[in-house]
Structure 1
Amino acid sequence: MAAAGSWPAWPSDRSLRVFRLIPYQTNIDFLRLRWVWLAIGLGLMLASALLIPFKGFNFALDFTGGTVAELRFEQPPDLEQLRARLTAEGFSSPVVQTFGSDRDVIVRLQPRPQDVEGGAEAMAAAGGIIADVLSTPDNRATVVRSDFVGPQVGRELAEDGLLALGFVVIGFLVYITARFEWKFAVAAIITSLHDVLLVLGWFSLNGHEFDLYVLAGVLSVMGYSINDTIVIFDRVRENFRSMHKVEPVKVLNNAINGTLSRTIITSMATFMSVFALYLFGGASLQGMAESQMVGIVVGTLSSIFLACPLLLWMNVSKQDLLPKARDTSDLDRRP
């Protein structure tokens, strides 16, 4: 106990270590199975890249244009009968899906020629028309929400979204290449593309609606993935400069273990924040929150199990951090 009138002793560094999530001396050999991690990562990237063009996305009204109506029936309807009624009324290729409960149905369709000719008033009344078409005397449908986006607007939104994605990718490529040596840049770019492809593959696989909010979530996933990878790569560069005569595999393992606590704490805090948005942000923000939650999980795992194995695969060493020697051959030939 401190003497009267004196300050209590400040806790030593040793006593403060209990507040660290991962102990300082942790030395998990993450790179022992690096070829397995690389094979899994490459396999998932290829699976997503093949799934996306074959299965496609469930594009929302933002991209396709047309009418979307959310209906609530008194009893669970037969979706095939609903599609048949809409086709008989002149709606081509109607998309009818349940969401939430089996009594809630979302209908997405292209406008009929007579609706387009009728102008904005006809478009606004499309939701009521759909409800009337699908209702039966023993199972009435009520309109919960009805929206319309013109095909030209949808096309422009899709083009603007693709341009935004392209500018972000190019910006990250320039930033990483300028900040790191080329091997680090290549590894970071592959890791980020891995994360984005897996998020896109997730939405293609489960058929959840892909709208502008989801696209914004995908762009934020790229930023999160780059940030997480850069933290580890910064520690790798520090270790290469401070750990002399140590094999690269040990240098990289030390960097992963040294940043493991920060990585887990940051990921958990971010995930909980986005999960709260998913639960309480409303239906319009659920897609964006879902893309971010998947991206956080995938980005955290890839920064630990994929980024550094890629560096080892490219035979990174301390020599990659040293300035290139100038070519003095011409000077040596001078008298």
Structure 2
Amino acid sequence: MFKPIRFIPDDTKIKFMLLSRYGYFASGVACLAAILLFVFVGLNYGVDFKGGTVFVIRTEQVANLDELRGKINGLGFGDAELQEFGTGGHEVLIRLPAIEGGEDVQRVVQDKVKQVLGAGVEYLSIDVVGPKVSGELAQQSIMAVLIAIIGILIYIWFRFEWQFAIATVMSLLHDVLLTVGFFCLIGIDFNLQIIAAILTIVGYSLNDTVVVFDRIREYLRKYKQLPLADLIDVSINSVLPRTLLTAVTTLLALIALYIFGGEVLKGFTLAMIWGIFVATYSSIFSAASLLALLGVNRDAIQIQPSGSKAAAARP
């Protein structure tokens, strides 16, 4: 019989609450830097939010995205976004950023693109995304993130208690803010794919946080006299193997996707890779330490029915 490999010991005794004071400082500095980057540098908004011209084309041969991108970028109209559209590799979606000058300039852009792509290309559609449409997309994207966070607040409030809900939402806002600051820093196009990545990061971070909180609530019933800070340390240590192994396996898949997934997916996967680091950090240091600051009503925890143990919380 082979013994299972333990990359992380089951009996770790890391003093997370003692380290959390440094975590507060690091998170505060990082959040402040993210806000300053957003205010003074800003996001590099993509076509989805700035407007521009969108082509859908069909090629006779299987499309070579790198070759097409090189031809279009050579026109000097800005960085083009290309992705395969449909199946078979013959249909391509091309996004070009908006250029000032009205309809006449947009018509020139379209003519130049057609000229550089040459014969053998069928244009299935050509659409101009105006500032009004892109503005609506930006508003809807912000609303999607806010609605998700508000829904999480309500769910955690009913699932646990208000202290758990506040700690969870503050941790999620921390993750979103650091992700936005990261994209301000690196300057990659911020588009709807990144919004999708942020919502995915919120879900991942929530899952990690709920696992920790479920174990804390379980131990609040089990160790009634243990000080809250020590109980949180025991809880985090007990789920640490599960948390880190989940993060590592997810990162392996994302790194492979970043390397082999093509240019179109690089922004999404980069956001997810950064988000996994941030979400893992926040679930260990931010959420639980905020709960320690807010305190919990042990009497309310004790009178709740035990129910079934959270299987997902076991390492």
Output the TM-score relative to the length of structure 1. Answer: 0.71
Counting only pairs closer than 5 Å after superposition, residues 144-163 of structure 1 correspond to structure 2 as 149-163=129-143
Q: What one-letter code is carried by the residue in structure 1 that aligns with 2:278?
A: V
User: Do the aligned partners of residues 313 and 118 (structure 1) sit closer, same or farther apart at CA in structure 2, a change above 3 Å counting?
Assistant: closer
Q: Which residue in 2 is equivalent to 1:250?
A: 230
User: Do the aligned partners of residues 96 and 286 (structure 1) sit closer, same or farther apart at CA in structure 2, a change above 3 Å counting?
Assistant: closer
- Asked if structure 2 preserves the Cα contact closer than 8 Å seen for 1:173 and 1:189, the reply is yes
- Asked if structure 1 preserves the Cα contact closer than 8 Å seen for 2:154 and 2:165, the reply is no
Deviation of 1:273 after TM superposition, in Å, equals 1.3
CA distance, structure 1, for counterparts of residue 69 and residue 184 of structure 2: 22
Q: 1:35 aligns with which of 9, 21, 33?
A: 21
Flag structure 1 segments of 5+ consecutive residues without an equivalent: 1-10, 87-93, 98-105, 132-145, 325-335
Q: Which residue in 2 is equivalent to 1:169?
A: 149
Q: Which residue in 2 is equivalent to 1:184?
A: 164
The 3-state SS of whatever aligns with 2:28 is helix
Counting only pairs closer than 5 Å after superposition, residues 72-221 of structure 1 correspond to structure 2 as 108-113=97-102, 116-117=103-104, 122-127=108-113, 149-221=129-201
Structure 1 residues 68-116: Cα deviation after superposition (integer angstroms, max 9, x where no partner): 895459xxx9xxxx9xxx7xxxxxxx8679xxxxxxxx98442422xx1
- Asked if structure 1 preserves the Cα contact closer than 8 Å seen for 2:52 and 2:96, the reply is no
Q: Which residue in 2 is equivalent to 1:318?
A: 298
The 3-state SS of whatever aligns with 2:147 is helix
CA distance, structure 1, for counterparts of residue 286 and residue 143 of structure 2: 28
Deviation of 1:46 after TM superposition, in Å, equals 2.2
Number of aligned residues: 269
Tell me the percent identity.
Answer: 36
Flag structure 2 segments of 5+ consecutive residues without an equivalent: 55-67, 81-94, 118-125, 305-315
CA distance, structure 1, for counterparts of residue 11 and residue 187 of structure 2: 44
Instruction: Specify the structure having the higher radius of gyration (Cα).
Output: 1
- Asked if structure 2 preserves the Cα contact closer than 8 Å seen for 1:183 and 1:311, the reply is yes
User: Do the aligned partners of residues 147 and 301 (structure 1) sit closer, same or farther apart at CA in structure 2, a change above 3 Å counting?
Assistant: farther
Q: Which residue in 1 is equivalent to 2:33?
A: 47
- Asked if structure 1 preserves the Cα contact closer than 8 Å seen for 2:53 and 2:128, the reply is yes
Deviation of 1:297 after TM superposition, in Å, equals 0.6
Deviation of 1:123 after TM superposition, in Å, equals 4.8
Q: Which residue in 1 is equivalent to 2:60?
A: none
Structure 1 residues 180-219: Cα deviation after superposition (integer angstroms, max 9, x where no partner): 1111111111111111110110001111111111110011
CA distance, structure 2, for counterparts of residue 323 and residue 53 of structure 1: 47
The 3-state SS of whatever aligns with 1:125 is helix
Structure 1 residues 128-185: Cα deviation after superposition (integer angstroms, max 9, x where no partner): 6899xxxxxxxxxxxxxx9853334323322322232222122212212221111111
- Asked if structure 1 preserves the Cα contact closer than 8 Å seen for 2:44 and 2:187, the reply is yes
Deviation of 1:229 after TM superposition, in Å, equals 0.5
Deviation of 1:284 after TM superposition, in Å, equals 1.4
- Asked if structure 1 preserves the Cα contact closer than 8 Å seen for 2:42 and 2:184, the reply is yes
- Asked if structure 2 preserves the Cα contact closer than 8 Å seen for 1:248 and 1:317, the reply is no
Q: Which residue in 2 is equivalent to 1:102?
A: none
Output the TM-score relative to the length of structure 2. Answer: 0.75
Q: Which residue in 2 is equivalent to 1:273?
A: 253
CA distance, structure 1, for counterparts of residue 279 and residue 162 of structure 2: 21
Deviation of 1:122 after TM superposition, in Å, equals 4.5
Q: What one-letter code is carried by the residue in structure 2 that aligns with 1:110?
A: I
1:20 aligns with 2:6: yes
CA distance, structure 1, for counterparts of residue 112 and residue 128 of structure 2: 8
CA distance, structure 2, for counterparts of residue 177 and residue 317 of structure 1: 13
CA distance, structure 2, for counterparts of residue 157 and residue 130 of structure 1: 30
User: Do the aligned partners of residues 298 and 118 (structure 1) sit closer, same or farther apart at CA in structure 2, a change above 3 Å counting?
Assistant: closer
Deviation of 1:117 after TM superposition, in Å, equals 4.6
CA distance, structure 1, for counterparts of residue 112 and residue 144 of structure 2: 32
Deviation of 1:249 after TM superposition, in Å, equals 1.5
Q: Which residue in 1 is equivalent to 2:217?
A: 237
Deviation of 1:307 after TM superposition, in Å, equals 1.5
